[in-house]
Amino acid sequence: MLPDPQAGGQTGSLEHIALLRPLSAEQRAAVARQCRWRRFASDEQIIDHWADTQDVAFIVEGRVRVLSHSAGGREISFTDIDAGELVGEMSALDGRPRSASVVALGEGALLAFLPARPFRDLVSGHPELGLAVMLRLCDKLRGATDRIMDLSTLGANNRVHAELLRLARRGRRQGAAAIIAPIPVHSDIAARVSTTRETVARVMSDLTRDGLLQRRADALVVCDLQELERLVAEVRGAP
Amino acid sequence: MLPDPQAGGQTGSLEHIALLRPLSAEQRAAVARQCRWRRFASDEQIIDHWADTQDVAFIVEGRVRVLSHSAGGREISFTDIDAGELVGEMSALDGRPRSASVVALGEGALLAFLPARPFRDLVSGHPELGLAVMLRLCDKLRGATDRIMDLSTLGANNRVHAELLRLARRGRRQGAAAIIAPIPVHSDIAARVSTTRETVARVMSDLTRDGLLQRRADALVVCDLQELERLVAEVRGAP
């Protein structure tokens, strides 16, 4: 258990932050001392889309979600980020407003906030860190490009199929099947593919009726992963 | 006029490429010698989405469009990039497949292709170049995030309004009006906001009927820029 800085004013360790791995333990400790440490409860807001902040946040414990809301209040989620990663690097780099909000998931999260200036010094002072930040941004941009294509060319039904396929590919295989555990929440899928919970429920019940999906007590089973892959490839039209 | 390398095997100059400005003239000339130079006709494909290439392309003359196609053949366009900029840096950095295609616009384009390895050496060897690449990626990612929000929360009508607003803001002001010149092609707007030409035509004719838009011989006039801004802000719901 890392010390809670709010309790003792101490700092924790950044040794499990992937980006900082090329640094020496001493350099990492120096970065840690420049951070403001804070623990967040589940669902608590970590970065406010509309606040004028620019620090980068290292996720030391827990998991966070990057999201935004429509004018009508519907949640659009972008990505979930695990411990060991970071969030908020865009405003730290370019000084522009936050592009989205960030909230803590699950059991909450411990974050270390590094101000923009030392973060920029870090990535320009260490070429391997700079390159790693570029790769992170490329990865996010590729994900965003794929999502724009899906939103532009697929119906909501097919986007739910595509999201189930994404979850299934990260799941455990069992013969032709893939196991998604824990069972994803309908509203999470809806926020990921920009549709309503009702649409997600309808599509999943259709897939269950067709024998492609099965709900167990603790997991969702895609009974024929190849068939789901075929279904998605057909509408996406990638070669 | 730069020498056409296909004719004489010579190289042109990279002095107007913004990213390379921090380099000395000598360093820039060394980069130019590592490039493969090629001139493209209007509409000619520069980067093939599905080809296994990884070089970055400096746009020395002309203008290019980054785009992709749906399974049904509909064009989805991402961004237009002017001379002085570059394109294709993602695959050069991460070695993964191209995320889209690139074609030459207008009168064609002259490009200098630098292989992935020297490009990566360049951005890791010069911190200010590395930071500039990060800012470019941030800018693209912010644009993609905005587009995901628009696609997720706005109807096609409102997305056409938002695109006209984007074009109007880059145009010349004339009192309350903004001048968009040359007149944008309906199919270009459609590809930018992921809808059909027919929808663009209908929305523009509605705006004309309502007195908000006026078509001149050589320009499109947004008669009341503030009113268009209000219209878009209302549906986007940003504070």
Query: In sequence order, what DSSP letters do the residues of B147-210 get, joined into one string?
Result: HHHHHHHS-HHHHHHHHHHHHHHHSEEETTEEEE-SPPPHHHHHHHHT--HHHHHHHHHHHHHT
Q: Report CB contact under 8 Å: B148, A152.
A: no
Question: Has domain A5-152 been given CATH number 2.60.120.10?
Answer: yes
To the nearest whole angstrom, how far is the Cα of A6 from the nearest Cα of chain B? 32
Residue A12, pLDDT score: 84
What's the rounded Cα separation, in Å, for the pair A115 and B111?
39
What is the CB neighbour count within 10 angstroms for residue B112?
25
Report H helices in A83-193: 89-94, 116-125, 127-153, 156-170, 186-193
Residue A237, pLDDT score: 77
Helix, strand, coil % in chain A, rounded to nearest 5: 45, 25, 30
Cβ-based burial of A24 (10 A; exposed 0-12, middle 13-18, buried ≥19): exposed
- Which among B194, B234, B239 is the nearest to A152, CB-wise? B194
The string of pLDDT tens digits covering residues B168-207 is: 999 999 999 999 999 999 999 999 999 999 999 999 999 9
Coil vs helix vs strand at A191: helix
Structure tokens at B116: 């992935």
What's the rounded Cα separation, in Å, for the pair A222 and B34?
50
Q: pLDDT truncated to tens, each residue of chain B (239 aa)?
A: 444 544 445 568 999 999 999 999 999 999 999 999 999 999 999 999 988 999 999 999 999 999 999 888 889 999 999 999 999 999 999 999 999 999 999 999 999 999 999 999 999 999 999 999 999 999 999 999 999 999 999 999 999 999 999 999 999 999 999 999 999 999 999 999 999 999 999 999 999 999 999 999 999 999 999 999 999 998 887 65
Residue of A nearest to B236 (CA): A71
Within 8 A by CB and 6+ apart from B71, the residues are A153, A234, A235, A236, A237
- Residue B198 to residues A152, A154, B67, B186, Cα–Cα distance (Å): 16, 19, 20, 8
Contacts of B72 in chain A (CB under 8 A): 153, 237
Q: Which amino acid, A27?
A: Q
Place of tokens 């974050």: A111
To the nearest whole angstrom, how far is the Cα of B8 from the nearest Cα of chain A? 36
Can you tell me the ipTM of this complex?
A: 0.91
B155-236 sits in which CATH class?
mainly alpha
- Which among B125, B142, B194 is the nearest to A99, CB-wise? B142
The mean pLDDT of A74-88, rounded to a whole number, is 95
To the nearest whole angstrom, how far is the Cα of A95 from the nearest Cα of chain B? 10
- A27: which DSSP letter? H
Pairwise pLDDT comparison (A50 vs B58), residue with the higher score: B58
- Does B25 contact A at CB distance below 8 Å? no
- pLDDT above 80 for A17: yes
Residue B6, pLDDT score: 47
Contacts of A239 in chain B (CB under 8 A): 50
**What is the pLDDT confidence band of residue A71, given thresholds at 50, 70 and 90?**
confident
Q: Report CB contact under 8 Å: A93, B134.
A: yes
Contacts of A139 in chain B (CB under 8 A): 94
- Residue B136 to residues A125, B18, B140, Cα–Cα distance (Å): 19, 11, 6
Contacts of B121 in chain A (CB under 8 A): none
Residue B12, pLDDT score: 84
Do the two domains A5-152 and A155-236 of this chain adopt the same fold? no
Residue B238, pLDDT score: 63
- Which among A127, A134, A237 is the nearest to B137, CB-wise? A134
Q: Report the share of chain A in percent with pLDDT over 90.
A: 88
What is the CB neighbour count within 10 angstroms for residue B72?
8
Among A69-73, A154-158, B25-29, which stretch is predicted with the lowest mean pLDDT? A69-73
The string of pLDDT tens digits covering residues A84-138 is: 999 999 999 999 999 999 999 999 999 999 999 999 999 999 999 999 999 999 9
Residue B10, pLDDT score: 52
The mean pLDDT of A145-152, rounded to a whole number, is 95
Of the residues B148, B161, B196, the best mutation for testing chain A's interface (the one with the most A CB atoms within 10 Å of its CB) is B148
Is residue B104 a contact partner of residue B42, using CB atoms and an 8 Å limit? yes
Q: Report CB contact under 8 Å: A151, B149.
A: no
What is the CB neighbour count within 10 angstroms for residue A46?
21
Where do the domains of chain B lie? 5-152, 155-236
Q: Report CB contact under 8 Å: B153, A72.
A: yes
Q: How many CB pairs under 8 A join A and B?
A: 139
Q: Chain A neighbours among B 93-152 (CB < 8 Å)?
A: 93-94, 96, 99-100, 120, 123-125, 127-128, 130-131, 133-135, 137-142, 144-145, 147-149, 151-152
Residue A10, pLDDT score: 52
